[in-house]
Chains A and B, each alone.
Chain A
């Protein structure tokens, strides 16, 4: 009886504590994120120009889609939703996000498994694999642009010496290879992020499970798929979600490496271009809002299809 009473008040006490624990985080996020976010969404429904942030007038969804009747009587649709450049950017981004996240996950898993094993010099290797992530993006993008240069880039030189190519390739210039260049650099740069998060997941897997499996003589590959993978699934899911979010928003790498190539222009890049460079602030804001919507759809789908357990109720 006594325990039962204590449990009730305890649960209340815990909920109150939970509120006070969550409140500061929510307040911080509201000011820093929600407010600017809502403002941008509002901008997208006006004709605001960047030269006059407060002078915008409400125009509804015209930035997204509007119908205009020309003098000749012809009807034309206008707005982001019928903008071919926008859909090209959407396609580029989605393609980029799926391919890069796929490779980063697979490679990240391999790296994490290697780092989870005991071997000499593990600390140094761990530091070494973090280097790509540690170099500021603006610098690493420039560095790769240099290495990918057709005339004095070292990659062409290596490939030529190894006989992989017979003439120097202009990686970032050609429409055919620009996307590969961006993918390669992104995989190089963010695999450590994946690897480290997965490694943290692996570290939480109790060691005695492996010991037991070893004693039973189970094939390591089987151990990985049957035991390790299911155990690190939550950590893996979170890592993939955040990589996916980042990949869908990719900006700086493309902006530095191939800023104007039609083959690599992503949603963030085109949205910035409209907001800042082209003086179509509200139009760019509409594209940002659409980007938000597209990402939200992808993440929801992922959580739903992947049965990612959000509230953690399923486990108990």
Chain B
């Protein structure tokens, strides 16, 4: 029995190691590359040969890179707050209130996600210029709704629907309004789903490239992926691998910190009655 237990423990940790290596290796290699310069880049190194911070200095000291990070943080945060607010209220209605055409409505929301980004570009560009928000963060925040909202609405609707009827009934009998029910009853139960979808939406907004490139025309309003694409070598043909990798490491670290902060909320397990287990 104990031998078997030991074996399964070893097997389990082996699996964990495989998963971690698979996920992290390319990132590790990016870190190794970020310390290399010049011809060193064209050689295969498994360990960093030297710790040359030159690439990091050139990225952080470059024009407006720090500014881009600030822009990205602002845009991604606002997008998530905006999307979660709209999605929580809408999915409460979609999941807990009976009315005709719910399935159709959900399908229509999903349809928004079926169109290629490139195809809505022209129309969206017109809209943004019409609203006069071209080259401002709002252009991105508005356009990111297109991929964050359907996704958050769907996920939250599924989760809300799965919560037992009883938890709401008590509040209804007490005469609580729908708004109170959402904020007092559902929100605490939905933490894992909220944090997860929020995180995924945040990363989606953080990484988006095409809209961010199209709807800005000055360096000070640009976001991180565009700023990385702007890193260039000394000529048209040269690709500056070192700085690109350094920049990728820099922009990934905040996300890792974010995950570490919120992971307790993801862990929070639930039991049927809404009593934390």
Beta-carbon nearest neighbor of A298 in chain B: B114
Q: Is the CB–CB distance between B122 and A40 below 8 Å?
A: yes
Chain B min CB distance to A34 (Å): 7
The answer to whether B162 has its CB under 8 Å from any CB of chain A is yes
Task: Give the residues from 203 to 258 in chain A that come closer than 8 angstroms, CB to CB, to chain B.
Answer: 203-204, 206-208, 234-235, 237-238, 241-242, 245-246, 249, 251-252
Q: Hey, which chain A residues are within 8 Å of B178, CB to CB?
A: 13-14, 17-18, 21
Are A199 and B26 within 8 A (Cβ)? no
When C-beta atoms are compared, the residue in chain A nearest to B15 turns out to be: A114
Q: Is the CB of A311 within 8 A of B149?
A: no
- Give the size range of B's interface with the partner: 35 or more
Please list the 8 inter-chain residue pairs (A to B) with the smallest Cβ-Cβ separation, ordered nearest first.
Answer: A36-B123, A288-B119, A18-B93, A310-B103, A36-B120, A18-B97, A21-B89, A134-B255
CB of A173 within 8 Å of the partner chain: no
Q: List residues of chain A with CB within 8 A of the CB of B51.
A: none
By CB atoms of chain A within 10 A, which of B87, B93, B161, B272 has the most? B93
Assess the A127–B263 pair: CB atoms within 8 A.
Answer: yes
Known: A199-B196, A200-B159. 5 other contacts (CB 8 A): A17-B97, A196-B266, A203-B267, A234-B158, A252-B210
| B153 located at the interface, meaning its Cβ lies under 8 Å from any Cβ of chain A in the complex | yes
Chain B nearest CB, measured from A150 CB (Å): 12
Q: Are B224 and A136 in contact (CB under 8 A)?
A: yes
Q: In the complex, which residues of chain B have a beta carbon less than 8 angstroms from the beta carbon of A82?
A: none
Enumerate chain B residues within 8 angstroms of A34, measured Cβ to Cβ: 112
Q: Known contacts A25-B153, A200-B192, A238-B155; is A135 also within 8 Å of B248 by CB?
A: yes
**With A36-B122, A136-B251, A234-B162: A128-B150 Cβ-Cβ less than 8 Å:** no
The interface on chain A, measured as residues whose beta carbon lies within 8 A of the other chain's beta carbons, has a size of: 105
B269 to chain A, nearest CB (A): 5
In the complex, are the beta carbons of B196 and A157 less than 8 A apart?
Answer: no
Q: Report B88 CB to chain A, min CB distance, Å.
A: 9
Contact between A235 and B102, CB atoms less than 8 A apart: no
The distance in angstroms between the C-alpha atoms of A9 and B150, with both chains bound, is 31
- Check A39 against B122 for contact (C-beta < 8 Å): yes
Across the interface, do A206 and B112 meet the contact criterion of CB distance under 8 Å? no
CB of B271 within 8 A of chain A? yes
B225-A238 in contact (CB<8A) = no
B16 touches A204 (CB 8 A): no
Q: Which chain A residue has the least Cβ–Cβ distance from B8?
A: A220
Name the one of B16, B110, B116 contacting A299, with C-beta atoms under 8 angstroms: B110
Instruction: Report Cα–Cα, A272/B22, bound state, in Å.
Output: 32
A136 to B212, CA, bound (A): 13
Bound Cα distance A176, B227 (Å)? 34
- Do A241 and B93 have beta carbons less than 8 Å apart? no
Within 8 A of A (CB), among B92-149: 92-95, 97-99, 102-103, 105-107, 109-124, 126-127, 142-143, 145-146, 149
Partner of A203, one of B103, B259, B269: B269
User: Cβ of B124 and Cβ of A36 under 8 Å apart?
Assistant: yes
Q: Which residue of A lies closest to B17 (CB)?
A: A125
Chain A positions near chain B (C-beta within 8 angstroms)? 10-11, 13-15, 17-19, 21-22, 24-25, 28-29, 31-40, 43, 50, 53, 110-111, 114, 117, 119, 122-140, 142-144, 146-147, 151-154, 157, 188, 192-193, 196-197, 199-200, 203-204, 206-208, 234-235, 237-238, 241-242, 245-246, 249, 251-252, 267-268, 271-272, 275-276, 284-285, 288-289, 291-292, 295-296, 299, 303, 310-312, 315-316
A-B contact count (CB 8 A): 307
With A and B bound together, what is the CA distance between A25 and B179 in angstroms? 16
- Within residues 190 to 210 of chain B, which ones have a CB less than 8 A from any CB in chain A? 192-193, 196-197, 199-200, 203, 206-207, 209-210
B161: chain A residues at CB < 8 Å are: 234, 312, 315
Whether A310 lies near B107 (C-beta < 8 A) is: yes
Chain A contacts for B103, CB-based, 8 A: 310-311
Looking at the assembled complex, report how far the CB atom of A146 sits from the nearest CB atom of chain B, in whole angstroms: 7
Could you tell me if A146 and B241 are in contact, using CB atoms closer than 8 angstroms? yes
Q: A36-B123, A114-B12, A200-B196 are in contact. Are A139 and B244 (CB under 8 A)?
A: yes
Q: Are A119 and B122 within 8 A (Cβ)?
A: no
Contacts of A153 in B (CB 8 A): 44
Residues of A within 8 A of B154 (CB): 238, 241-242
Report the separation of the CA atoms of residues A150 and B18 in the bound assembly, to the nearest whole angstrom.
25
B215-232 interface bits toward A, Cβ cutoff 8 Å, 1 = contact, 0 = none: 000000000110011000
**B155 and chain A: residue at smallest CB distance:** A238
CB distance from A65 to the nearest CB of B (A): 19
Given contacts A127-B263, A203-B270, contact A33 B127 (CB under 8 A): no
In the complex, the chain A residue whose C-beta lies closest to that of B229 is A138
Residue among A114, A295, A312 facing the most chain B CB atoms (10 A cut-off): A312
